[in-house]
Amino acid sequence: MASTSTHFSLSPSLKQHTSIPQPIHFSSLQNPKFLHPQSSFSNNHFPKFSSLSKPLRSPICASSSQLMDPFAAKTEPGIPTIVNVDLGDRSYPIYIGSGLLNKPELLQRHVHGKKVLIVTNNTVAPLYLDKVVDALTSGNPNVSVESVILPDGEQYKNMDTLMKVFDKAIESRLDRRCTFVALGGGVIGDMCGFAAAAFLRGVNFIQIPTTVMAQVDSSVGGKTGINHPLGKNLIGAFYQPQCVLIDTDTLNTLPERELASGFAEVIKYGLIRDAEFFEWQEKNMQALMARDPSALAYAIKRSCENKAEVVSLDEKESGLRATLNLGHTFGHAIETGVGYGQWLHGEAVAAGTVMAVDMSYRLGWIDDSIVKRVSDILKQAKLPIVPPEIMTVDMFKSVMAVDKKVADGLLRLILLKGPLGNCIFTGDYDRKALDNTLRAFSKS
What pLDDT, on the 0 to 100 scale, is given for residue 399? 93
- Report CA Rg, the chain: 21
Mean pLDDT of 218-238: 93
Q: Which band of pLDDT confidence, cut at 50, 70 and 90, is reported for residue 41?
A: very low
Q: Which domains does the chain have, with CATH numbers?
A: 81-254 (3.40.50.1970), 309-441 (1.20.1090.10)
Mean pLDDT of 168-190: 97
Sheet of 204-209: strands edge to edge?
A: 62-64, 81-85, 92-97, 244-247, 204-209, 179-184, 115-121, 144-150
What pLDDT, on the 0 to 100 scale, is given for residue 75? 59
Phi and psi angles of residue 94, each rounded to the nearest 5 degrees, phi first: -110, 115
pLDDT winner (highest mean) among 22-26, 63-67, 430-434: 430-434
Q: Does the pLDDT value for residue 248 go beyond 60?
A: yes
- Among 242, 225, 249, which Cα is nearest to 180's? 242
pLDDT per residue as tens digits for the range 252-289: 999 999 999 999 999 999 999 999 999 999 999 999 99
Sheet of 423-426: strands edge to edge?
A: 24-26, 423-426, 413-416
Residue with the bigger pLDDT between 170 and 51: it is 170
Least confident of 44-53, 140-149, 202-211, 353-362: 44-53
What CA–CA distances, in Å, run from 58 to 48, 285, 394? Answer: 16, 34, 46
What pLDDT, on the 0 to 100 scale, is given for residue 312? 94
Q: Which residues contact 335 (CB under 8 A, 6 or more apart)?
A: 154, 232, 342, 343, 345, 348
- Among 148, 156, 151, which Cα is nearest to 181's? 148
- Among 160, 157, 148, which Cα is nearest to 120's? 148
pLDDT per residue as tens digits for the range 390-429: 999 999 999 999 888 888 889 999 999 999 999 999 999 9
Q: Please write down the HEC assignment for all residues of 197-232.
A: HHHHHCCEEEEEECCHHHHHHHCCCCEEEEEECCEE
The percent of residues in the chain predicted with pLDDT above 90, rounded, is: 77
What pLDDT, on the 0 to 100 scale, is given for residue 15? 30
CA 210, CA 185: separation in Å to the nearest integer? Answer: 5
pLDDT per residue as tens digits for the range 341-377: 899 999 999 999 999 999 999 999 999 999 999 999 9
What pLDDT, on the 0 to 100 scale, is given for residue 28? 52
What pLDDT, on the 0 to 100 scale, is given for residue 403? 85
Burial group, residue 17, by CB count within 10 angstroms (0-12, 13-18, 19+) = middle
E-assigned strands of 295-350? none
CA 92, CA 244: separation in Å to the nearest integer? Answer: 8
The percent of residues in the chain predicted with pLDDT above 70, rounded, is: 83
What pLDDT, on the 0 to 100 scale, is given for residue 244? 97
Q: Which band of pLDDT confidence, cut at 50, 70 and 90, is reported for residue 74?
A: low
Q: Does the pLDDT value for residue 23 go beyond 80?
A: no
Name the amino acid, one letter, at 201: R
Mean pLDDT of 200-229: 96
Q: Treating both helix axes as pointing N-terminal to C-terminal, what angle do 256-273 and 368-380 enclose, rounded to 10 degrees? A: 160
Mean pLDDT of 144-167: 97
Q: Which band of pLDDT confidence, cut at 50, 70 and 90, is reported for residue 64?
A: very low
pLDDT per residue as tens digits for the range 48-57: 333 333 333 2
Residues marked active site are found at 201, 223, 265, 307, 317, 321, 325, 328, 332, 345
CA 249, CA 251: separation in Å to the nearest integer? Answer: 5
Phi and psi angles of residue 229, each rounded to the nearest 5 degrees, phi first: -55, -25
Mean pLDDT of 162-180: 98
Report the DSSP beta bridge partners of residue 148.
119
- Among 66, 416, 379, which Cα is nearest to 275's? 416
Q: Which residues contact 400 (CB under 8 A, 6 or more apart)?
A: 329, 330, 333, 406, 411
Q: Which band of pLDDT confidence, cut at 50, 70 and 90, is reported for residue 27?
A: low
* Dihedral sign of CA atoms 32, 37, 42, 43 in order: positive
Q: Which band of pLDDT confidence, cut at 50, 70 and 90, is reported for residue 3?
A: very low
Q: Which band of pLDDT confidence, cut at 50, 70 and 90, is reported for residue 149?
A: very high
Mean pLDDT of 16-33: 43
pLDDT per residue as tens digits for the range 106-142: 999 999 999 999 999 999 999 999 999 999 999 998 9
